[in-house]
Structure 1
């Protein structure tokens, strides 16, 4: 029953390719364990858990670790994106695009010019 309630979280974990995943149900509590690639992916999972169960759900226990804490996320540029749009997605603030530009100065020479399929580092702020 609890597993069905949180199926969207489990599906998201699969989509994010969470490593070493383990899900068990014990006495009406769903226990989720695994390793996200980046802090951003861990946050997405927690946001989904809270969306379903509220800010402090008692029917789920999640132990999500992070494989790479050196960056907040990694992002592959899609057609039509700008650094401002990408900053808004990850930080909620388009003006933080400068942090992304600085973190990728080895591949970006102008903050107004990015190309599809470039992999950008989204730095921890």
Structure 2
């Protein structure tokens, strides 16, 4: 069972899921832990669905979130724009204003971001 969901377990390690554990019991794989943000929890669930389908009956997962104050944190990389970042997290580039407003403590213009800046990606 672990082999089937190995990509989920690997992602959990990559994301540094806290208090994570895995147990095979009653023909099911049980996994639990705490993701840093909702975005990381969503990534885990997306991977679970890609392996086991929308409602896997051979897996039980209990993933909690440590920080509910934001959806994610994002470190700006070279060539990125707020629109590109908004498209990645929200599916719509036009949501860039939400990210800008959440980061006015460090951003003076929505058109001027720098590699290395750590941006809050707010919950919608």
TM over 0.5: yes
1:99 aligns with 2:72: no
How many angstroms does 1:90 deviate by? 0.5
What runs of 5+ residues in structure 1 fail to find an aligned partner?
none
**Cα RMSD after superposing both structures:** 0.5
Please report how far the alpha carbon of residue 28 of structure 1 lies from its aligned counterpart in structure 2 after TM superposition. 2.1
Could you tell me how far apart the structure 1 residues matched to 2:11 and 2:48 are? Answer: 10
**Aligned counterpart, 2:31:** 32
Count of residue pairs the alignment pairs up: 124
Distance 2:71 2:40 in 1: 9
What is the TM-score normalised by the length of structure 1?
0.98
TM-score norm. by structure 2 comes to 0.98
Detail structure 1 runs of 4+ shifted over 4 Å in the superposition. none
Where structure 2 has 5 or more consecutive residues not aligned to the other structure, the ranges are: none
- 2:108 — aligned with what? 109
